[in-house]
Structure 1
Amino acid sequence: MTLRRSAAAVLAASAVLCASAATATTAVAAPSPTPVIPSGLYGEKDPTYDGVWRQSLALLAQDTVGVEPAAKAVNWLVGQQCDSGGFPSFRADAAEPCTSKTMTDSNATAAAVQALSALGGQDAAVKKGVSWLKSSQNQDGGWSYNPGGASDANSTSIVIGALAATGEKPGEVTSQQGRSAYDALVTFAVPCDAKTGGGAFAYQPDKDKKLAPNADATAAGVLGGLGQGLGAEAGKPGDKPAKCAKGKPTPERAAANGAAYLDGVLAGTGHLDTPPMPGAEDTKPQPDFGNTADAVVALAAQGGAERAAKPLEWLKKNAAPWAKENGPAAYAQLVFAAHATGTDPADFGGTDLVKALNATGPAPEATDRAADEKKDDEKEDGGGFGTWWIVAVFFVASVGAGILFSGRKKNQQL
């Protein structure tokens, strides 16, 4: 799903470059201005294409590990919602009402719904978001990135996660033609007898209606088939299917086949790859950290933590620099991978993901860990009259003079 956000940015940038090229003979393009980061928003990079997305992932990841996000961070996300219930990628001025030109999208809306539903206390925003998602459902039962487009596996899957997170039954949310989200999802599953990629999910059929395997879509499709969201829980351990299992294309079977495909792709290096960008000097595929993290969540959700062991270990050893460079959404994806596999996010290959994520935005209101440590300290101190107090009394008595004594104060950001 991170690939979708990057693709949107690339398309927009391409449009800008084309416009600049048209006037290149008469003017020199001005440098891009430093983006203004709104108070309450996580991350320091331009939020134009991923503001709502990265905020939603950050808040959901914090909730997953017991962190209570800052109120202004939650308020910022809620303020991005249009009256229609949909969320755009980013609104610079949330005080201005959305117009017909405001591009709301299913991915931002579904991610925001999942985050706000998990946090609680935002029933009105969640209800409006779900209503918008239902209203933008395509007749085939699926969803496109923006309303009106052709359905795709990624968008359909993340909406399934949002519906499930709010207590809806995705299989009962149908279009006017009676098609459900699951009806659409299984149409993106590559048949087992395909020449390549049997069991995988395609993003969309190509112009010849053929399905090309896509690892990003497959990770999303596995979660969608299981009715799970971004912060998925580990599934029950079971026998790993060695190959794609033929039969009726049910959501459960499609999810199992998708996981089997991911197993095969990850068997060698333990990570997924992304093709080089056009014009890049290095023409070799590069490791895809984000989609590998998504694959870890998908595999764990489908067959237990052990199934994701190899790519998880690769992420632990290699993903910290990537997350540091890419900010809150990247840290959140790693937190989701840790959560799905029962890994301590405070020691993910030596990196404290929770602390790093929190540092990308406003300080959280509270954390479960901080509360637990406070209780432990109180026990050690005997409720305020423990060892430290006794030492202080003896010290005062020995010097025969008053001293200024201050209690220990924590300054730990988790």
Structure 2
Amino acid sequence: MNVRRSAAVLAAAVAIGTATPAVAASPSPSPSLPSGLYGSSDPTYDGVWRQSLALIALHRVDVEPAEAAVDWLAGQQCANGAFPAFRADPTKACDAKVMVDTNSTAAAVQALSASGAHDTAVGKAVTWLKSVQNKDGGWGYTPGGAGDANSTSVVIGALKASGDDPAKALTGGKSPYDALLKLSLPCADGGAFAYQPDKKGKLTANADATAAAVVGALGQGMVSVKAGDEKNADCTDAARPTPKDAAANGSAYLAKAVAKDGHLTSALPGSENQPDYGNTADAVVALAAQGGPVAAREPLAWLERNSAKWAGQNGPAAYAQLILAAEAGGADPSDFGGTDLVKQLTATGPAPVAASQDDSGTSVWWMVGAGLAAGAGVGFLLSSRNKRKQP
């Protein structure tokens, strides 16, 4: 879910000679960007990812995106159902040089499912995802690659959004939840999730992976995630842990990780530690999904105070992450620390569909508003926040 992926994902990308949404390419505008694409930076490494997050975030706040934006995303799909990070000429068939990946594909599935269109594209993408599921029930970033918590979790979200039951996505009798449980650490090690085992099979706590895996272990994704009931953030080792047990433990780890400063910290090799805005936004979603808005209150408040500059520098995926965090944590995305996140996001791409109008050109919503105003004491009647996510 992250605009800036973990160092582990970046290392994996370098190893296979490609990249992930973690490394946004040159921030300079490209003169040949498609009109339906969100953002002005080079989309080579994150085009499908940022487009998907933008569409999902708009869905979560009941804004209908331009048809061109949805069609651009659908047009990135290869004939086998998979999506690459970006392909400049969708009229050319995908060949071996087009690097498809599970993360782009799973994110696109969620976005296209939310749009209510392109059911055929969604079905083909889900079929492809199931075809590259690993024997342990999980997924790696590239088809056939070693499984990891982030990729497995984003695919769980795709299955959920498409109407599939992730628990029934089996290979060798193993489901995605089995794969996540294998990456869950005991409470003695904090209860976090690891990204993936190291070469010696050792698991190391990873906040990025934990934020993704908490949502995945709850059987949710970006489209479907919603605030859970208020629960204590305690880590408990069960004799036979369930995915929900692992999610609770992961949430306890995140709660401790953000307790001191209100945010997660980035510790990339060769650089000084600094606030990690993207992973903090993901942690807010995970904490709210497990323990309700109260569990995410402090990191959400920190984001409201500090994330505006980061989002402005990073564009649509960053605005989308903040919208998802605000929406899950009970904040107002249209007034997030004084910033209208929805307005900022829509300004990076094609204008969304305007409010419906009747044949006379009079806005239907204006008529509704006039009717409400006429009734004294009617009070608050409609809420635009009833749609809730399914990850």
Matches within 5 A, 1:177-196: 177-194=172-189
State the alpha-carbon separation in 1 of the partners of residues 289 and 317 from structure 2. 20
Deviations 1:24-78 (A, max 9, x none): xxxxxxx998633221100011100000000000011111101110111111000
Q: Could you tell me how far 1:371 is from its partner in structure 2?
A: 6.3
In the alignment, what sits opposite 2:290?
302
The answer to whether residue 66 in structure 2 is matched with residue 64 in structure 1 is: no
State the alpha-carbon separation in 1 of the partners of residues 303 and 82 from structure 2. 34
Tell me if the contact between 2:102 and 2:141 (Cα under 8 Å) persists in the aligned partners. yes
TM-score between both structures, scaled by the size of structure 1: 0.81
State the alpha-carbon separation in 2 of the partners of residues 9 and 75 from structure 1. 32
| Structure 1: runs of 5+ lacking an equivalent | 17-30, 383-414
In the alignment, what sits opposite 1:73?
69
The structure-2 alpha-carbon separation of the partners of 1:4 and 1:109, relative to structure 1 and needing over 3 Å to count, comes to same
State the alpha-carbon separation in 2 of the partners of residues 43 and 11 from structure 1. 22
In the alignment, what sits opposite 1:4?
5
Deviations 1:354-381 (A, max 9, x none): 000000000001359x967523565499
Match of 1:354 among 342, 362, 367: 342
The structure-2 alpha-carbon separation of the partners of 1:43 and 1:137, relative to structure 1 and needing over 3 Å to count, comes to same
Q: Could you tell me how far 1:343 is from its partner in structure 2?
A: 1.5
Match of 2:196 among 204, 225, 232: 204
Matches within 5 A, 1:295-334: 295-334=283-322
Q: Which moved more, 1:164-173 or 1:292-301?
A: 164-173
Match of 1:223 among 203, 215, 218: 215
Match of 1:365 among 341, 353, 364: 353
The structure-2 alpha-carbon separation of the partners of 1:12 and 1:201, relative to structure 1 and needing over 3 Å to count, comes to closer
| Structure 2: runs of 5+ lacking an equivalent | 19-25, 357-361, 375-391
Match of 2:33 among 37, 42, 54: 37
Matches within 5 A, 1:7-406: 8=10, 35=30, 36-175=32-171, 177-194=172-189, 198-276=190-268, 278=270, 280=271, 283=272, 285-366=273-354, 374-375=366-367, 378-379=370-371
Report the structure number with the largest CA radius of gyration: 1
Tell me if the contact between 1:63 and 1:119 (Cα under 8 Å) persists in the aligned partners. yes
Name the amino acid aligned to 2:309: P
Tell me if the contact between 2:278 and 2:318 (Cα under 8 Å) persists in the aligned partners. yes
Name the amino acid aligned to 1:318: N
The structure-2 alpha-carbon separation of the partners of 1:8 and 1:371, relative to structure 1 and needing over 3 Å to count, comes to farther
Q: Number of aligned pairs? A: 359
The structure-2 alpha-carbon separation of the partners of 1:122 and 1:156, relative to structure 1 and needing over 3 Å to count, comes to same
Tell me if the contact between 1:276 and 1:286 (Cα under 8 Å) persists in the aligned partners. no
Higher RCO (Cα < 8 Å, 6 or more apart): 2
State the alpha-carbon separation in 2 of the partners of residues 256 and 323 from structure 1. 29
